[in-house]
Amino acid sequence: MRRSSGGKGSEMGFGVASLNLFLHLLLIQLAHGREFTSDNYLRLPSSNIGDEVEDDFSAQMMVESEEHEKENNGHFQAHSLSHMDQTDPNIMVFFTMNDLKVSKTMPIYFPKNDPSTTPPRLLHRDEASSIPFSSKELPNLLKFFSFSQDSPQGRAMEDTLRQCENRPIKGENKLCATSLESMLDFTREAFGWVDFSVVTTTYLTNLSTSFQNYTILEVPKEILAPKMVACHTMPYPYAVYYCHYQESENKVYKILLGGETGDKVEAVAVCHMDTSQWSRNHVSFQVLKIKPGTLPVCHFFAAENLVWIPTSE
């Protein structure tokens, strides 16, 4: 395994030859010590379960799925938009490039890792392909995982399947990856046959709270990445990543943040340079109080998301 320049623990570069090793390590990292029991199929926030599942879910999708509501196929979009009121801390991840300077302070939401819940396990492709992943199969899947349709888990599964089955918007490619192998295949397809690496947000301390004011401590570092594939975890009994990329220009940054409680985060953020095609209703425009196509829209990634970038030589 080769480290990319400037890489910390959160940045792993690899070539095709070392793919197996990487797979192995990531699978160990993600699956180690986790039993595939119904207790920890689905990671749920500990309090106020029903609402938060949906909030987390919607926020995550609204952050990255530009203008899906344009598609007009959905209950989900309408639902999440009405859900996203501007005081919801989950959506406090947006900023503009004007904010990208040392000493800038802004409130940011980073979901806390709850050590009492284990993240869902990432399946091997063989395992994943033996379980249907389709809303047509929802009744069987609910039975298989022992969740009732009305439970928060059941509703989350339904939402995830529906979101995964939505057609991508114009210019977007997407895949819901149910195994690391399928995520890597998708990424390889996006980048062509070049090395690539993954960058993630790293919490340098255990976060004392999910939502607080953070100050940019150092000059933000741009990670030169002509392309990127962002993969977001979705609530499901096993690990499912909603991966997507678009053709328009993005800039990727690593930003060292200090929280007012003393927490430290090495955050990965992306700036979407061209938002002219986004829906006017996109939640970021509401948060930032700007209009499509005016300023680039940037947002932070939660630690559990994966941002794949081609590795420059």
Ligand X SMILES: *[C@@H]1O[C@H](CO)[C@@H](O)[C@H](O)[C@H]1NC(C)=O
Q: State residue 70 phi and psi, 5-degree precision.
A: -60, -30
Residue 302 Cβ vs ligand X, minimum distance, rounded to whole Å = 16
The distance from CA 311 to its chain's CA centroid, rounded to whole angstroms, is 20
Residue 10 Cβ vs ligand X, minimum distance, rounded to whole Å = 14
Residue 260 Cβ vs ligand X, minimum distance, rounded to whole Å = 7
- Are 239 and 122 spatial neighbours (Cβ–Cβ below 8 Å)? yes
Nearer to ligand X, 103 or 130 (CB): 103
Helical packing angle, 49-64 and 152-165, nearest 10°: 20
Give the torsion sign (CA, 66, 70, 73, 74): positive
Nearer to ligand X, 115 or 192 (CB): 115
Residue 187 Cβ vs ligand X, minimum distance, rounded to whole Å = 30
Residue 88 binds ligand X (CB under 6 A) = no
Nearer to ligand X, 75 or 289 (CB): 289
For 163-189, b/e burial (b = at least 16 CB within 10 A) is bbebeebeebebbbbbbbbbbbebbbe
Kind of pairing between the strands at 250-259 and 196-199: unpaired
- Footprint on residues 215-244 left by ligand X (CB under 6 A): none
- Footprint on residues 175-214 left by ligand X (CB under 6 A): 205-206, 211-213
Residue 72 Cβ vs ligand X, minimum distance, rounded to whole Å = 35
Q: What distance in Å separates the CA atoms of residue 77 and residue 152, rounded to the nearest whole number? A: 18
Nearer to ligand X, 107 or 226 (CB): 107
Nearer to ligand X, 154 or 259 (CB): 259
Residue 107 binds ligand X (CB under 6 A) = yes
- Please tell me the number of Cα atoms within 13 Å of 156 on its side-chain side: 28
The distance from CA 236 to its chain's CA centroid, rounded to whole angstroms, is 14
Residue 86 binds ligand X (CB under 6 A) = no
Q: What distance in Å separates the CA atoms of residue 227 and residue 252, rounded to the nearest whole number? A: 9
**254, amino acid identity:** K
Nearer to ligand X, 212 or 305 (CB): 212
Nearer to ligand X, 18 or 113 (CB): 113
Out of 6, 9, 115, 262, name the contact with ligand X by CB under 6 A.
Answer: 115
Kindly report the CA angle at 213 between 63 and 92, in degrees rounded to 5?
A: 15
Residues in binding contact with ligand X, number by CB under 6 A: 7
Residue 112 Cβ vs ligand X, minimum distance, rounded to whole Å = 11
> How far, in Å, are 6, 178, 187, 195, 223 from residue 19 at the CA level?
21, 18, 13, 10, 22
Nearer to ligand X, 72 or 206 (CB): 206
Residue 261 binds ligand X (CB under 6 A) = no
Encoded one letter per residue, x for contact with ligand X by CB under 6 A and - for no contact, window 47-76 reads ------------------------------
Residue 105 Cβ vs ligand X, minimum distance, rounded to whole Å = 7
Site residues (CB under 6 A) for ligand X? 107, 115, 205-206, 211-213
